[in-house]
Structure 1
């Protein structure tokens, strides 16, 4: 598989270096290199085959963050990913918010670049496999595992949903508490977004800030559930769905 990519950077040396790194990487195909964000954006609109952008953040005419936000609105986000390249580490959080695939801090070497390129290869391989796999490959009687693919520390991580004990929503992030793991996974998304991706019978929203894995509930009362050593309250807004669960237990 070849990944079609472009490089966008207003520093000639940096643009030349990135282009040379791309050309040294067997699974990358350099479509073009641009010295400003406007030309890069035009190329993205005109060429639907572009899959990956190595993108500088600080540029005079159109910044990398602004370009990334425009890409988010095009509907191509799933098939067009970004690796930011910048000399300023204070932009890391901004890059995370626009769901960058990776973040290369200048000056970076070919090893650093290869690591980011491999993330891109893994992502597009996974995407291609998911599009080519027919849902009826397994017989109906065979249970199929469900996975979430979440951005954790600039890596795409595969999470088996059956291992999720409960999920806690924060302001811009969520914490996923997993079976057998001491520390939760932290990812930049909303609780509502995750709720839409999870199987409704297996997970239940019981609080503005919590979704619980039903099979991991150890005990419950009329107003709370116990998962491991954690007690999670049930709020009035979600009592109706919880009442059905309580009824099944009784």
Structure 2
């Protein structure tokens, strides 16, 4: 797999270094180089780009502003994944919020660059593998149901088996995915509603505005909460009737 790349930086030396690193990497192809985000935005409309190596501090239009433009226009879902390059580490959180794939802190060497580029390659390979079975099985009347999903955690996609999920907790724009045999939950930048739509309804149920449970992992049920392992998940009033209907099948 070869990834088409654009490099954007208003500093000629920094731009030259990124371009040299791209051309040095076998699975990357340099398809354009720009000294401003405005020029890059125009270039993105004329070619297919997989990865955008993007400086943050630039005149006229910053890298973060360009990322937000792509996100609002809907291009971010179909267009390039962004790897930010900057000399300022305090932009890391903002980079995460605009769904950047990675964040390179200047000055960086080729080893650090290659690590980020490999993340990009892994991301697109995972996407390709996730989409391929759907294409291959499309003619079948009963397509195979996957038993996992991919979660964006920090700057990588992590494959999570449904059977490993205990319950999911919603926190505004984030979710905590509590897993079997893991002391710490996975923190993913997505909404509980978006995740609910991806999960199979026969295995998972929303029981509270802030919680989804794996029905197979329920250990005990009290009047107002569900026990899963050592955790007690509350049952919201608006979800009680649906959950009660499900429980009634047990008796």
TM-score (norm 1): 0.93
In 2, the alpha carbon distance for the partners of 1:23 and 1:59 equals 23
The reply to whether residue 176 of structure 1 matches residue 208 of structure 2 is no
In 2, the alpha carbon distance for the partners of 1:159 and 1:102 equals 21
In 2, the alpha carbon distance for the partners of 1:76 and 1:60 equals 22
| 8 Å CA contact retained: 1:145, 1:160 | no
What do residues 64-101 of structure 1 show as CA deviations (whole Å, max 9, x unaligned)? 11111111233332342111111111111111111111
Residue in 1 aligned with 2:165? 164
Deviates more, 1:237-246 or 1:12-21: 237-246
Q: What SS class does the counterpart of residue 166 from structure 1 fall into?
A: strand
In 2, the alpha carbon distance for the partners of 1:143 and 1:221 equals 36
Residue in 2 aligned with 1:23? 23
Mark the CA change 1:214 to 1:143 in structure 2 (over 3 Å): closer, same or farther. Answer: farther
What do residues 211-244 of structure 1 show as CA deviations (whole Å, max 9, x unaligned)? 1111000111232111001111101121122122
Residue in 1 aligned with 2:45? 45
In 2, the alpha carbon distance for the partners of 1:161 and 1:205 equals 15
In 2, the alpha carbon distance for the partners of 1:184 and 1:143 equals 28
Residue in 1 aligned with 2:55? 56
* Unaligned segments of structure 1, at least 5 residues: none
What do residues 107-163 of structure 1 show as CA deviations (whole Å, max 9, x unaligned)? 1110110011001111112222333323639x9999744322222132221111221
| 8 Å CA contact retained: 2:174, 2:189 | yes
What do residues 177-216 of structure 1 show as CA deviations (whole Å, max 9, x unaligned)? 0111111111111111111111111111111111111100
The 5 Å alignment of 1:139-154 reads 144-154=145-155
Residue in 1 aligned with 2:216? 215
The reply to whether residue 10 of structure 1 matches residue 17 of structure 2 is no
In 1, the alpha carbon distance for the partners of 2:44 and 2:69 equals 11
Residue in 2 aligned with 1:202? 203
Deviates more, 1:71-80 or 1:59-68: 71-80
Residue in 2 aligned with 1:128? 128
Mark the CA change 1:107 to 1:216 in structure 2 (over 3 Å): closer, same or farther. Answer: same
In 2, the alpha carbon distance for the partners of 1:149 and 1:59 equals 34
Q: What SS class does the counterpart of residue 131 from structure 2 fall into?
A: helix
In 1, the alpha carbon distance for the partners of 2:186 and 2:164 equals 12
Q: What SS class does the counterpart of residue 249 from structure 1 fall into?
A: coil
In 2, the alpha carbon distance for the partners of 1:135 and 1:221 equals 45
In 1, the alpha carbon distance for the partners of 2:84 and 2:143 equals 42
Q: How many residues align?
A: 249
Q: What SS class does the counterpart of residue 195 from structure 2 fall into?
A: helix
What do residues 27-55 of structure 1 show as CA deviations (whole Å, max 9, x unaligned)? 100001100000001111222x1111000
The 5 Å alignment of 1:58-77 reads 58-77=57-76
Superposed CA RMSD: 2.0
How far 1:17 sits from its partner (Å)? 0.5
